[in-house]
Structure 1
Amino acid sequence: MSLAATPAETTAPRALLARQPNEFDLARIGRLLVRRRRYRYVEPVIVPIEDGYLVRAPCCSRTVDPQGGEIDIARLVWVERAREWRLFRRNHGPPSWIEDGRFARLGELMAWLNADPDRVFWQ
């Protein structure tokens, strides 16, 4: 019996090869969001999406959502080809995503999101 992999064993569906999302980073993002500087009294939700995560939270600004419902805060996307994280913020006017930054490490991205110096994420 050979220990070498056969061609059929080396081919795996994309879902099995994808780095993101994964349970480890999902939990890590949740732990790191506790350190944010703005709207610390709301409980954000992290949703796994293709190649990353979506951060949602109850709305604290009636100008963004008059009903005060849950809104999108940020998208964290891993780009395998570039081997970097991309952070997107939500434009709540005409709904769209705006790229806010590129980061080599998830920790750097989370530090930027938590600081939110321009107040574009936690509005």
Structure 2
Amino acid sequence: MNAAVMKKVAAGLIPHPNELDRKRIERGLSSRRHYRYVSPSVTPVRGGYLIESPCCSHNIDKNGGRIDVALIHYDAVSGIWKLFWKNHARGIWEFYSIYHRLTSAVDELNTDPERLFWQ
């Protein structure tokens, strides 16, 4: 990990969430493959970002309400991004993968090859 990140962690400064990366995620989601006709939201949460979207398929919410799509968490100690998907049947977040760059996590979320995120 680079020295600047270590200094921030040691000083107690949490690098995420921040408005710049929240906007980057928001813009990045415009190139997703699934549910292109809805407007997802990106909300700052402790250590990362929560992505929610209206459920137009009605698979999860029969009324088409907002559902959890993904959770992107930054591990300040290791400098990696962790991507989680929502197991709606069990009501829990499940770990999906790790990434060294935020853009890589957003790219994976956009392609969603296993259709875990955009249900």
TM normalised by structure 1 equals: 0.86
> Secondary structure of the residue that 2:38 maps to in structure 1?
coil
- Residue 86 of structure 1 aligns with which residue? 82
Q: 1:34 aligns with which of 26, 30, 33?
A: 30
The whole-number CA distance in structure 1 between the counterparts of 2:52 and 2:93 is 13
The whole-number CA distance in structure 1 between the counterparts of 2:81 and 2:57 is 28
Runs of 5+ consecutive residues of structure 1 not aligned to the other structure? 1-10
- Residue 114 of structure 2 aligns with which residue? 118
- Residue 3 of structure 2 aligns with which residue? none
Amino-acid identity (%): 43
Between 1 and 2, higher relative CO (CA 8 Å, sep ≥ 6) is seen in 2
Alpha-carbon distance, 1:63 to partner: 2.6
Runs of 5+ consecutive residues of structure 2 not aligned to the other structure? 1-9
TM normalised by structure 2 equals: 0.88
How many residue pairs are counted as aligned between the two chains? Answer: 110
Query: Max radius of gyration: which structure?
Result: 1
Code of the residue aligned with 1:61 in structure 2: it is S
Matched, 1:52 2:23: no
1:7-47, Cα deviation, whole Å (9 max, x unpaired):
xxxx96x4xx1100011101100110001010000000000
- Supply the RMSD in Å over aligned alpha carbons: 1.3
Q: Where has structure 1 moved over 3 Å in runs of 4 or more?
A: none
- Residue 91 of structure 2 aligns with which residue? 95
